[in-house]
Amino acid sequence: MRKIIHIDCDCFYAAIEMRDDPRLRNRPLAVGGDPGKRGVIATCNYEARAYGVRSAMASAYAKKLCPDLLIVPGRMSVYREVSAAIQALFHDYTPLIQPLSLDEAYLDVTDSQACRGSATLIAEDIRRRVRETQGITVSAGVAPNKFLAKIASDWNKPDGLKVVLPEEVDAFVRDLPVDRLPGVGRVTAQRLHNLGLDTCAEVRQWRREDLYREFGIFGERLWELVRGIDERPVVVERVRQSVSVENTYEQDLPDLQACIAALPPLLDKLAQRLGRLEGDYRVSKPFVKLKFQDFTQTTLEQAGAPVTPAGFEELCAQAFTRGNRPVRLIGVGVRLDSSYSPMGEQLTLF
């Protein structure tokens, strides 16, 4: 039986801004881009969330929801420094750490002798030390697996702790709304609701093969999740799955030719990121992402497509036909395979 802790910093970027400038506290605050230049909200504090402001929301729309919202630019170097300090602190408890981003991570403390071997006491000690050393708060979830620990860390936010003991797993999962399950996005949730499945208890009534027939391979995963089953280990060395860059334009790109003309600077940035990539990777396939004027988006990738400017132009042309309307954002990237190839295909991009 594993002991897994999920640590999640509370509104991380915004918390650091409020820490460094106390005048920002107790007012709606977001970290993000300029509303006049199609900026996007990276994160916001809880005062802003009360108005419906959320991360990944257009800054201009956020200002409509909350006219008093103060949007400040991000300071990534500061955020990385704080994140590194918190990650270093984790190593006092266990070497089994899987960072998910700058502001969250899984810890496997199954064999840790810290805090008398109590995962709950370890989580409490981490929360105390982050508060005292970094001046921000984190929430923690403690559970027998990663799936439950992540849900638990969000249970009593902000500055909260939720523990799911092994004997509590069945009852805890049974009453969970299906929307809380990892991998259940808006579309899948709606399909479940249309089938009259709103809670894990209701999904449990379906046989494994019926879920597979309805949802494909995710149906197998769904059958396990609604029973609290998650055998994924905490992975210490994360394998990079992709590298990409994207840009949101101040003015919509009106047609395909304008999109093609916008590709070269994006490909230059992509080449730079690939050049800085540490580890042995092989490019498996390129992809292009387009977000259209109406905020619908599409991503097109193709195994075997040439990782060259001409190859990305062809993908862009095919992706554009899916919307055939002005484009507000373009992203380009490549999927990666960690099996080493000494002369990776990415060299053709240069």
| pLDDT (tens digit per residue) in 5-30 | 999 999 999 999 999 999 999 999 99
Q: List where CATH 3.30.70.270 sits in the chain.
A: 4-12+77-166
Catalytically active residues are 104
What single DSSP character describes residue 95?
S
Taking the whole predicted model, whether its pTM rises above 0.85 is answered as no
Q: Identify the pLDDT of residue 184.
A: 85
Fold of 4-12+77-166: Alpha-Beta Plaits (3.30.70)
Average pLDDT of the chain is 89
Looking at residue 238, what is its pLDDT?
65
Residues contacting residue 119 through CB under 8 Å, at least 6 positions apart = 3, 4, 5, 109, 112, 142, 163
User: Looking at 76-85, 135-144, 329-338, which range is the least confident one?
Assistant: 329-338
Of 85-94, 102-111, 136-145, 182-191, the least confident: 182-191
Instruction: Quote the CA–CA distance of 57 and 79 in Å, as a whole number.
Output: 20
Q: How far apart are CA 253 and CA 293, in angstroms?
A: 9
Angle at 19 between CA 163 and CA 74, to 5 degrees: 100
Residues tagged in the binding site annotation: 8, 103
| Superfamily designation of domain 170-225 | 5' to 3' exonuclease, C-terminal subdomain (1.10.150.20)
Q: Residues near 346 by Cβ (< 8 Å), separated by ≥ 6?
A: 271, 274, 283, 307, 334
Fold classified for 242-349: Dna Ligase; domain 1 (3.30.1490)
Domain 14-75's class?
Answer: alpha beta
> Which residues define the annotated binding site for Mg(2+)?
8, 103
pLDDT of residue 266 exceeding 80, the answer is yes
Where do the CATH 3.30.1490.100 domains begin and end in the chain?
242-349
